[in-house]
Amino acid sequence: MPRRALVTGGSRGIGAAIAATLRQDGHDVVIVDRTIATTGEKGRDHRAYELDVSQFAAVERVLAEVEADGGPIDILVNNAGITRDGMVHKMDPVSQWQAVIDVNLTSAFNTVRCLVPGMRQRGWGRIINISSISGLKGQIGQANYAAAKAGLIGFTKSIALELAGKGICANCVAPGFIESPMTSAMPPDALRREAAGIPVGRLGKPDDIAAIVAFLASDQASFVTGQVWSANGGQYL
């Protein structure tokens, strides 16, 4: 059944693929992003809004505007994320640690806090949080990112339990290495080394993740909640 969906960080990479796939499935998809390149889009079709998801007051204001403009959001995909890699003994407490926790973890609380009351009232909802293989196994140079992505898993399992009786499912998807602007910023040698360690013999594609999100967002996924769906080409089992 077509619904209204919100994808954070939906203008590029994995988020753009998720938004496109949900649109193909017939959903009305809104994206929010820190910067929206096509500024004309908002006024025209109510589908793109500028928002820093790490700021609660801004999330509250913009999501109220999104729902007032086009109706309630039933599918929430928390995809926005950043990396600020560095070894822990050199990590800056603000620009690396706090920034990554705020954008990758606190953002999910912010959107869930604002949208879940409506989902509870309507008795239907899907929350899909994009975690990471780093949150499952840890990663050198990513103590901040791995902590945020692991935190997202605990957060998701807890809200899944809180919301299970209300028709709302909450799940994580944990991608491995996916071709996107985030990974193309990695040093080529490091990326080649990671790719060589993937049993299926390739990096993932944004569509590999979007297909899973589309299922978890569907009516058919009503018995799936509190789970972590890994898609990493067998890199971490």
Per-residue contact string for residues 78-107; x = within reach of ligand NAP by CB under 6 A: -xxxx--------------------x----
Phi and psi angles of residue 8, each rounded to the nearest 5 degrees, phi first:
-85, 145
Near ligand NAP by CB under 6 A: residue from 5, 9, 136, 147 = 9
> Considering the complex, what minimum distance in angstroms separates the CB of residue 165 from ligand NAP?
29
Q: Is 180 in the site for ligand NAP (CB under 6 A)?
A: yes
Whole-Å CA distances, 229 to 41, 167, 208, 225: 32, 20, 12, 10
Check: CB of residue 30 under 8 Å from CB of residue 70: yes
The C-alpha atoms of residue 6 and residue 143 are separated, in whole angstroms, by 28
Helix 107-122, helix 143-163: angle, nearest 10: 10
Nearer CB in complex with ligand NAP: 14/160: 14
The C-alpha atoms of residue 114 and residue 94 are separated, in whole angstroms, by 26
Site for ligand NAP, residues 135 to 174, rule: CB under 6 A? none
Nearer CB in complex with ligand NAP: 8/96: 8
Site for ligand NAP, residues 197 to 226, rule: CB under 6 A? none
The C-alpha atoms of residue 221 and residue 111 are separated, in whole angstroms, by 21
Nearer CB in complex with ligand NAP: 49/124: 49
Question: Which residues participate in catalysis according to the annotation?
Answer: 145
**Using CB under 6 A as the criterion, which residues of the chain lie in contact with ligand NAP when the complex forms?**
8-9, 11-15, 33-35, 51-54, 79-82, 103, 130, 132, 175, 177-178, 180-183
